[in-house]
Structure 1
Amino acid sequence: MTASFNHPQQPDVSFDGGDLDCGNGLLLLIRRHIDPLERGGLLEIRSTEISVDEDLPAWCRMTGNELVSFIKEGRQRSFLVCKGQLAERRAAPAQPPQQRGGIELVAVKPLTVYPAPATAPAIRPLSVMGIGSWPRPRWMLQAVHEHMEGRLDDAAFHATADDAVSLAINAQLRAGADVVSDGEQRRDSYSSFVASRLDNCQLIPLTDLLPLVDDPEEFERELRALDVPAGDVRHPAVFGPLGRSRGIAVHEVDYARALTKAPVKVALPGPYLLTRTMWMECISDRAYDNREDLARDIVRVLREEIACLLASGAALVQLDEPVLSEVVFSGPANQRSFMCGALGAKGDTPTELAFARDLVNAVTQGFPRERIALHMCRGNWTADESKALSGNYQPLVDTLGQMRVGTLFLELATPRAGEMEILRSLPDDIRIGVGACNQKHAHVESVDHVVAHAEHAIQLFGAQRVLLTPDCGFATFADNPLNSSATAEAKLAVLAQAARILRERHGI
């Protein structure tokens, strides 16, 4: 490092970004260094890139951090940034600032031998279950944020999460659910959490992506439309070869199974969703030539994880692929969309659907189909139905039918999903998880309404193929639950009452 700059305050951490600009990796480095600091912590950023003079102050304004001072000596620039506001700063540390260089990559160690699946309780016809997420208590949300920011260690975080998982599972069992999940209590969202578990991947706030998109003004408008502050929504960024040196969700299944003998399901973001989410030309192209290269590693880590989940006794592993609806129901090819965080540009619809099908089939190849499922919906970040995508399953039904999964969990309670009859062409050996209540609405559906809806599905698919679920999770994004835990429990209880009536009616 060069000689220190005479800032008015002593930085806690300092790093040199060289000639990187904000749209080409510098923000990733900044996030890497500032996240572990406490509020009021000071970060010195050194740079020789002239565009940072304007871009960094703009980033500070967007993210609510304070630019304390800026010094320039020749080409060398030094920025002192406070995490949050300087008024929040505690007494300055006695030790000199820690100086760091770039991001250290973790060596990738593929799993060479897959463990064999363990036995798991069978999931009977007309079983009731949630899709995955469950509203988190306020104290759990606080723990999620403190853990992501480095202010809560792993042991304390998981002790807190264990309590939240116990509450979520007990609520599902009280409601009469046949299959339970841990409610995704440890996750910041249904998909981006993988960045905190995978090697050479990191979570960054959506606001950090502004310099990376083709149309920043349009992206800003999309961010303002969110029901939760964009700075609280984080996005996975890949800065090196993906690796899985620890489990993604195995620990979730292990703890859930310790609490109940009921079948346990677990959801993972699907390979197409992760590829669309993680492929950002200005960051991920440092490790991969194209998104197909990235996809191969995504397939590998998901296969490793599924093998370990099945070996841990997961009764059902669900791949979440909601972005499939973005492919067919949103704008033209090469248009970016916030839908499910899939910011990467896409190709034409047939190409994307074939790519998604092939990725899913590559992930599921060789695993027992009856224990693999796929879920899709039309967007679950807002309770406002008008902001979510709309369209029937006609453009998707062939692709869904070609995927090597045993169950499809489909949004079918909302009118936005169209007619259920379109799904009759699906193969007879695929179970249909029928969305029978709307997780977006506080109104709890009547038992008669659910029975009639489910009976319609039974007449189309047969009682042996039908499962009953909400349309989607109750809290897909941790900070933005669509309903309270009490309402979620009440909705599951109605599904369970309807299932009892239908089992008696159909002799199951």
Structure 2
Amino acid sequence: MGIPTEPIGSIPRPAALIAALADHAAGRIGDADLAARQEEAVADTIARLERIGSPVLTDGEQSKPSFVTYPLSGHDGHRPDGAVIPFADGHTRRLPRLTAGPFRYGAHAATYLRAARRHTDLPVKQAVIAPSALSLLYPAEGVDGYPREAFVDDLADEAEADIRGCLEAGAHVVQLDFTEGRLSLKLDPGGGLLDDFVALNNRVLERFSPAERARLGVHTCPGGDQDSTHSLDVDYAGLLPKLFRLNVGNFYVQLASEPDPERVLAVIRDHLPPGARVFVGVTDPISGVAETAEQVRDRVLLAARHIPADRLGTCDDCGFAPFADDTSTSRDLAFDKIAARIEGTAAAAEALGV
């Protein structure tokens, strides 16, 4: 049987694509030239993952502007001056601000999935942004003629369509990125915002059948951008019990960069829903040194002391470059870490006899 292992999503873009993104932003090349470089990057990402033996593939989000804003491509009803997300090293990211309704996705994740599947016959997973993250686009002062209730209705419909489109396009699994979950406890330590996020996501997830939800998952981490995080100082014990209320079959939990992973594993053990699988992070994208297969093996064996092997999987803590302009981690280092995850997970499975 083995222990399943999957990537989370983004992989650093190759130099040619990074240069093309800069040239496109400056008006030196057009959409077609940029699309060609993106297609080359997707093909290379798929090929490299296959060469290192990844059983599940991803396009590395080579064509996404970021893991959170891809639905806004071609959408005019927003401005760039939305909510600010501060990171521990002092840099910030700013979300767009909705200025008009109705809210509609300008791009759907199934487009990226279909492009990736042209290059492989192996299983491909697809990451989508959780509706809770996009709910932050709606400003506190409201939008003229477009009440928040109407926005949330539209958002739920669009998020459902995004997920369903990926399932219908043959995704091995669809992963909702929920990095704002841990951040919400920094913004609202009382947990009310987190409760709202979980309720909104479940409002969408309940529209899927049990068989479909078995192919859905949720990823949580403290954010990872330019070798920094936005909420690593937030206690996981406040997040995980509520995270596990989400109606999905798979949970992807950052763990390698946690200061006390055994404490987190105990929380997972006590709250993981029956029938669900948890993929624990065994590589840290922020660390500038590649893990060894032996380090990964030992992290998996530690997790197996708390979680039955038949409910355990492994992943990377986070995406390696969730924003297209993040070059803090090299592409080669990311693939070295992924290779260690694959090899170390297999070694742990052998040691456990599964």
Residue 127 of structure 1 contacts residue 177 of structure 1 at CA under 8 Å; is this kept in 2? no
Residues 38-58 of structure 1 deviation map (CA, whole Å, 9 limit, x = unaligned): xxxxxxxxxxxxxxxxxxxxx
Q: Over the residues paired in the alignment, what is the CA RMSD in angstroms?
A: 2.7
Distance 2:221 2:231 in 1: 10
For 1:269, give the aligned amino acid.
I
Specify the alignment match of 1:254 in structure 2.
114
Specify the alignment match of 1:494 in structure 2.
340
State which of 202, 214, 217 in structure 2 corresponds to 1:370. 214
Residues 271-323 of structure 1 deviation map (CA, whole Å, 9 limit, x = unaligned): 111102x11245x5125322x43222111101011111111101111111111
For 2:252, give the aligned amino acid.
F
1:226 aligns with 2:91: yes
Specify the alignment match of 1:135 in structure 2.
12
Specify the alignment match of 1:288 in structure 2.
146
Specify the alignment match of 1:357 in structure 2.
198
Q: Would the alpha carbon gap of residues 153 and 364 (structure 1) be closer, same or farther in structure 2, given more than 3 Å must change? A: farther
Distance 2:112 2:236 in 1: 32
Specify the alignment match of 2:160 in structure 1.
303
State which of 47, 72, 89 in structure 2 corresponds to 1:195. 72
Q: Would the alpha carbon gap of residues 423 and 224 (structure 1) be closer, same or farther in structure 2, given more than 3 Å must change? A: closer
Residue 196 of structure 1 contacts residue 203 of structure 1 at CA under 8 Å; is this kept in 2? no
Distance 2:96 2:18 in 1: 17
State which of 100, 113, 129 in structure 2 corresponds to 1:239. 100
Taking only the aligned residue pairs, the percentage that are identical comes to 26
Q: Would the alpha carbon gap of residues 395 and 297 (structure 1) be closer, same or farther in structure 2, given more than 3 Å must change? A: same
CA drift at 1:389 = 2.7
Residue 71 of structure 2 contacts residue 107 of structure 2 at CA under 8 Å; is this kept in 1? no
Q: Would the alpha carbon gap of residues 497 and 415 (structure 1) be closer, same or farther in structure 2, given more than 3 Å must change? A: same
Residue 123 of structure 2 contacts residue 171 of structure 2 at CA under 8 Å; is this kept in 1? yes
Secondary structure, in 3 states, of the residue corresponding to 2:347?
helix
Residues 444-469 of structure 1 deviation map (CA, whole Å, 9 limit, x = unaligned): 11222211110121221211222211
For 1:406, give the aligned amino acid.
G
State which of 257, 274, 277 in structure 2 corresponds to 1:414. 257
Distance 1:395 1:236 in 2: 28
Larger Rg: 1
Residue 373 of structure 1 contacts residue 405 of structure 1 at CA under 8 Å; is this kept in 2? yes
Q: What is the TM-score of this pair, normalised by structure 1?
A: 0.63
1:463 aligns with 2:309: yes
For 1:434, give the aligned amino acid.
V
Secondary structure, in 3 states, of the residue corresponding to 1:408?
strand
* Residues 87-486 of structure 1 aligned to structure 2 (within 5 Å): 126-145=3-22, 147=24, 152-197=29-74, 199-202=75-78, 204=80, 208=81, 225-226=90-91, 235=96, 237-244=98-105, 247-276=107-136, 278-281=137-140, 285-290=143-148, 292-328=149-185, 330-331=186-187, 333=188, 349-365=190-206, 366-367=208-209, 368-384=212-228, 388-416=231-259, 418=261, 419=263, 420-425=265-270, 426-486=272-332
Distance 1:498 1:222 in 2: 31
User: Does 1 or 2 have the higher relative contact order (CA < 8 Å, sep 6+)?
Assistant: 2
CA drift at 1:439 = 0.5
For 1:297, give the aligned amino acid.
D
Q: What is the TM-score of this pair, normalised by structure 2?
A: 0.89
* Residues 34-73 of structure 1 aligned to structure 2 (within 5 Å): none
For 1:261, give the aligned amino acid.
D
Residue 408 of structure 1 contacts residue 433 of structure 1 at CA under 8 Å; is this kept in 2? yes
Residue 283 of structure 2 contacts residue 317 of structure 2 at CA under 8 Å; is this kept in 1? yes
Gaps of 5+ in 1: 1-123, 214-218, 334-347
Distance 1:307 1:160 in 2: 28
For 2:182, give the aligned amino acid.
S
Residues 198-221 of structure 1 deviation map (CA, whole Å, 9 limit, x = unaligned): x444463xxx45xxx8xxxxx799
Distance 1:266 1:401 in 2: 21
Distance 1:454 1:224 in 2: 30
Q: How many residues align?
A: 348
Distance 1:266 1:250 in 2: 8
For 1:312, give the aligned amino acid.
A
Q: Would the alpha carbon gap of residues 498 and 350 (structure 1) be closer, same or farther in structure 2, given more than 3 Å must change? A: same
Q: Would the alpha carbon gap of residues 417 and 190 (structure 1) be closer, same or farther in structure 2, given more than 3 Å must change? A: farther
Distance 1:285 1:223 in 2: 31
Q: Would the alpha carbon gap of residues 149 and 238 (structure 1) be closer, same or farther in structure 2, given more than 3 Å must change? A: farther
Q: Would the alpha carbon gap of residues 312 and 401 (structure 1) be closer, same or farther in structure 2, given more than 3 Å must change? A: same
Residue 100 of structure 2 contacts residue 146 of structure 2 at CA under 8 Å; is this kept in 1? no
